[in-house]
Amino acid sequence: MTVQGEAVSQPAQQQPVNPPAEESMKHLTCYLDFISPYAYLAFELLPEVLMGLSYTVRYRPVLFAGMLKHHGQLGPAEIAPKRDWTYRQVLWLAHSRGIPLQLPASHPFNPLALLRLAVACSPEGDPGAPNRFVCETIFRHVWRGGAAADDAGRLDSLVQQLAIMPHAIARDAQGPVHSEAVKAQLKKNTVEAIAQGVFGVPAFVVGDKLFWGLDSLPMLREYLHGAPWFDGPDWNAVTNVGAGVQR
């Protein structure tokens, strides 16, 4: 089992038993935006979901607001009743799964600085794909403690915390948040995700298959296990359903 940038080793009793052969290894791309509590919860649950499977994971920060604009949608936190429900649901989901989660002081917030910081920490050989440690650090900056995620002082501290990464933070005199190269890479990540059919976060792309949302994790696991349903007619048949009404 391989996870890009896995920060914490798993207990011995959780190691996979009889893992699939190397030729069956799946390559998974996880698209995320730190503004999304569902992306945070999915990120925390992903190692458990993938336990015992043979896979690699690449994490790709994207601008969720850019996807919403592309598809002409509002975000959940931009619709007042849905906003309240979203916060109640994610707090309950976190509680029910034993995942620490405290809502930030304000939400939604502008996540660009955090997204650019993550991109700036990407390895030279794989731009735009920070490792799991970087993503975990930023997600927990937002969703643990209840402080303002976009506070300038906290952002400075976060930059210093991630300065151990031997990548763009150390090289770019402008700093990771203002680097034109980093800005361009984040935009490229978002454009590439949209081109693959990604419309929200979290999203997981494996080959030609796209799985969206926290609640898609069991479906993703079944696919990675090789469940035969995914080779049947239902996956593609949905595109043949006609739209009876358009607004």
Give residue-wise pLDDT tens across range 31-72: 999 999 999 999 999 999 999 999 999 999 999 999 999 999
On whether residue 202 sits in a domain, the answer given is yes
On whether residue 117 sits in a domain, the answer given is yes
Q: For residue 41, which of 210, 198, 217, 209 has the smallest C-alpha distance?
A: 217
CA quadruple 211, 216, 219, 223: dihedral sign: positive
Residue 110 CA to residue 25 CA, distance in Å, equals 37
On whether residue 243 sits in a domain, the answer given is no
Please say whether the beta carbons of 144 and 101 come within 8 A: yes
Residue 9 CA to residue 21 CA, distance in Å, equals 21
Say which CATH number the domain at 188 has: 3.40.30.10
β-partners of residue 61 are 32
* DSSP H or E run through 138: helix 132-143
What is the model's pLDDT at position 164?
Answer: 61
What is the model's pLDDT at position 124?
Answer: 85
Q: Structural domain of residue 189, as residue ranges? A: 18-227
pLDDT digits (tens, 9 = 90+) for 6-17: 333 333 344 443
Number of domains in the chain: 1
On whether residue 215 sits in a domain, the answer given is yes
Residue 125 makes CB contacts below 8 A (sequence gap 6+) with none
On whether residue 185 sits in a domain, the answer given is yes
On whether residue 238 sits in a domain, the answer given is no
On whether residue 13 sits in a domain, the answer given is no
What is the model's pLDDT at position 246?
Answer: 85
- With a cut of 70, which residues of the chain have pLDDT below it? 1-23, 164-176
Q: For residue 207, which of 196, 217, 199 has the smallest C-alpha distance?
A: 196
**DSSP-assigned states of every residue in 79-129:** SHHHHHHHHHHHHHHHHHHT------SSSS---HHHHHHHHHTS-TTSTT-
